[in-house]
Amino acid sequence: MFGVMFACALGTAALAADPVVCAPGTEMPVMNPAIFDTASPPAQQIESMAWLVMGICAGIFVVVEGILVYSIVKFRRRKAQQGDPVQLYGSNPIELAWTVVPLLIVFTLGLVTIRVIRDVERTEPPEGAMEVVAIGHQWWWEYRYVDPSLPGGQVVIANELHVPVNKPVWLRLESADVIHSWWVPALSGKIDLVPNHTNHLWFVAEKQGLYLGQCAEYCGNQHAGMLLRVVATPQEQFDAWLAAQAAPAVDDQSVAMGKSIFMELACSTCHSVQGVSDGAFAPDLTHLMSRQTIASGVVPLTRDNLRAWLDDPQSLKPQCNMPSLKLSDNELDAVTDYLCTLK
Ligand code: CUA
């Protein structure tokens, strides 16, 4: 488990190094993927339990190794000694001690574990929770905010989940293809996203900031390139963000050429831009420019990276499902300019 945690921390280190600029003038603290730096009740319970288990294991280690070292020194073979040492059998106090003490330890750990599992794996949403549907895809995340008061009844976004700070969130986990696992260690334990089966997970982001995570179930070649980002902001800021996401795509006549290339080529059959195209296999691009990264957290979203991605996605994220459309330099610029207007 620690190996995985370490690998995850390394995987996101490049992006986590600097405070991330979310909106102009707003710097966000970054919560790294570490189970010992938590900011949500389920994650805190898992952290406390990890410390308890490690504390007990450390105690056992010290006692067992201590007795071992003592015995090696005290009962080592002496020069004058002949034959086997005296053999002892059937000491009732010793046998009782090494039966009863481990039983008590296992019993205690069992009870604590059952309690933590009951709290962490709820079957009902916490009171006042906001429900969001999370769908795992090879190799990116789709989120749906279902709310009848929104235009169209829902807002669909990709890869960067936004939540209000200090509000319970109830994630409904589904998969479009294979088994993935949603794991933002500072927020909650990991839960699998299983095809044709719905799982749930809950958390409360108690600090403002960007929480990093990682798909935690091997799901194919770009499993490591399926990074998780959760942005927790005050309620008013979240409401403004959600309203902006619910708005139709910007229609800028100055990039009509890029838009028509987007429509004529395969882009529009996979990607959805509200009011323009309705592809459902790839991330929704209606408000692409409101995100900080592309390719599910693999590279920062800049014009250069976007253009390089359109030119050859396979060089930034090998074996991802987006093909290179072999656009000319002019076409690349036109489509990049069009996408850059999708704020
Ligand atoms: Cu998705 Cu690993």
166 conformational bin, left if phi > 0, alpha if psi -120 to 50, beta if neither:
left
Distance of alpha carbon 250 from alpha carbon 253, whole angstroms: 10
Helix (H) / strand (E) containing 293: strand 293-294
For the chain, which residues score pLDDT lower than 70?
A: 1-26
Instruction: Report the separation in Å between the CA atom of 158 and the middle of ligand 1, taken as the mean of its atom positions.
Output: 15
Q: Give the pLDDT confidence of 169-181 residue by residue, as tens digits.
A: 999 999 999 999 9
Distance of alpha carbon 82 from alpha carbon 78, whole angstroms: 9
Instruction: Report the separation in Å between the CA atom of 57 and the middle of ligand 1, taken as the mean of its atom positions.
Output: 32
Token pair recorded at residue 231: 């942005």
- Looking at residue 12, its pLDDT comes to 43
Q: Count CB-CB contacts under 10 A for residue 213.
A: 27
Distance of alpha carbon 203 from alpha carbon 328, whole angstroms: 46
> How much is the CA Rg of the chain, to the nearest whole Å?
27
List CB contacts of 292: < 8 A, sequence separation 6 or more. 20, 21, 22, 160, 229, 300, 301
Q: Which of 206, 205, 222 is nearest to 214 (CA)?
A: 222
Token pair recorded at residue 59: 């105690």
**Order of strands across the sheet that contains 199-204:** 154-158, 140-146, 130-137, 168-175, 199-204
CA 87, 93, 96, 102: dihedral to nearest 10 degrees? -90
List CB contacts of 319: < 8 A, sequence separation 6 or more. 220, 221, 222
Please name the residue whose Cα sits nearest to atom 1 of ligand 1.
180
Token pair recorded at residue 139: 């190799």
| Ligand 1 lining (C-beta closer than 6 Å) | 136, 139, 180, 215, 217-219, 223, 226
Sign of torsion over alpha carbons 314, 316, 321, 324: negative
Report yes or no: 299 and 313 within 8 Å, Cβ to Cβ: no
Q: Give the pLDDT confidence of 69-82 residue by residue, as tens digits.
A: 999 999 888 888 88
Amino acid 286 reads T
Angle formed by the axes of helices 41-74 and 92-120, nearest 10°: 160
Token pair recorded at residue 128: 């006042």
Token pair recorded at residue 13: 């280190």
For residue 218, the ligand 1 atom closest to its alpha carbon is 2
For residue 223, the ligand 1 atom closest to its alpha carbon is 2
- Looking at residue 26, its pLDDT comes to 53
Instruction: Report the separation in Å between the CA atom of 192 and the middle of ligand 1, taken as the mean of its atom positions.
Output: 9
List CB contacts of 187: < 8 A, sequence separation 6 or more. 38, 39, 40, 42, 43, 203, 205, 211, 213, 230
Instruction: Report the separation in Å between the CA atom of 138 and the middle of ligand 1, taken as the mean of its atom positions.
Output: 7
